Amino acid sequence: MKDVRVTHIGGPTALIEVGGWRILTDPTFDPPGRRYSFGWGTGSRKRTGPARRADDLGPIDAVLLSHDHHADNLDEAGRAVLAGVPVLLTTRAGARRLAGVSADVRGLRPWEESVLRAPGRAPISVTATPCRHGPPLSRPIVGPVVGFALQWPGQEHGVLWVTGDTVLAPALREVPRRLAVDTVLLHLGGVRFPLTGPIRYSLTGRRAVELCALVRPRTIIPVHYEGWEHFREGRAEVERAFAAAPDGLGDRLRWLPLPAGG
């Protein structure tokens, strides 16, 4: 299983294809225009729709859901997708809330592992990685989030890591100690809300550079940077941050085109 194809659908949503597996991350397929409440007086409007409709994706073998309680990671159309998916991996709390929505709902804490298996395909090991979706002590407000590290037989250079929505918390520094990362799907956006001023709830370009300098992936794929009004840093800000990064780190950025058809 050497060849990996990643298709960015919009926001955090991406389709990962490897070894016959088709794995979807954080399904968001609602059309643009609606405003969503995120709780505690925060909210956001969706500005752009998905680059591809859910109906056009074909069969999905598994969904990796970093968290279920924010609509920019799981919206109403995304929830409809879950009903037809054999396996759903998410947080422990999310698995309790989504029990029964898919045939096999698995809740993971950071560093817990689950294996995707199917006849005729090599297994894929999925390890949950830590996230902190806001400042210190914010978890009771923002809720639990996990990332995912994917490993499979024949993987030459290291794991494929989906960071999930996170800031550069101390727990993320454990990732390069435990995992050799080849490709990272990097959740960005520098999320802020007027109610909480300068506090960030996802990686800025500058913090993303710090994280990637620790992890040293060969390929960096930005996601979760466009399509919503609470995303405060887009492609231009991220490119500037990586252009100033040492050791040619910016050369590892790969901006995936959003395919036509949304």
Provide the whole-model pTM: 0.96
Alpha helix ranges (H) inside the chain: 76-82, 92-97, 139-142, 175-178, 205-215, 235-243
pLDDT tens-place string over residues 63-102:
999 999 999 999 999 999 999 899 999 999 999 999 999 8
We report the CATH number of the domain holding residue 248 as: 3.60.15.10
Q: Is it the case that residue 12 has pLDDT exceeding 70?
A: yes
Whether residue 184 is contained in a domain is answered as yes
Domain with 81, as residue range(s), is 4-35+46-252
User: Which pLDDT belongs to residue 260?
Assistant: 53
pLDDT, average across residues 92-121: 96
pLDDT tens-place string over residues 190-204:
999 998 899 999 999
> How do strand 42-45 and strand 62-64 relate by DSSP bridges?
unpaired
Whether residue 260 is contained in a domain is answered as no
pLDDT, average across residues 109-125: 97
Whether residue 226 is contained in a domain is answered as yes
Whether residue 60 is contained in a domain is answered as yes
Q: Is it the case that residue 259 has pLDDT exceeding 70?
A: no
Whether residue 258 is contained in a domain is answered as no
pLDDT tier, 2 (very low <50, low <70, confident <90, very high otherwise): low
User: Which pLDDT belongs to residue 74?
Assistant: 97
As a whole number of angstroms, the distance between CA 64 and CA 164 comes to 10
pLDDT tier, 262 (very low <50, low <70, confident <90, very high otherwise): very low
Whether residue 41 is contained in a domain is answered as no
User: Which pLDDT belongs to residue 156?
Assistant: 83
pLDDT tier, 261 (very low <50, low <70, confident <90, very high otherwise): very low
Whether residue 187 is contained in a domain is answered as yes
pLDDT, average across residues 258-262: 54
Mean pLDDT of the chain, nearest integer? 95
State the total domains in the chain.
1
Q: In what order do the strands lie in the sheet with 124-130?
A: 113-116, 124-130, 146-151, 159-162, 181-187, 219-223
As a whole number of angstroms, the distance between CA 183 and CA 76 comes to 29
pLDDT, average across residues 159-175: 97
Whether residue 40 is contained in a domain is answered as no
DSSP state of 46: B
pLDDT, average across residues 147-174: 96
User: Which pLDDT belongs to residue 247?
Assistant: 87
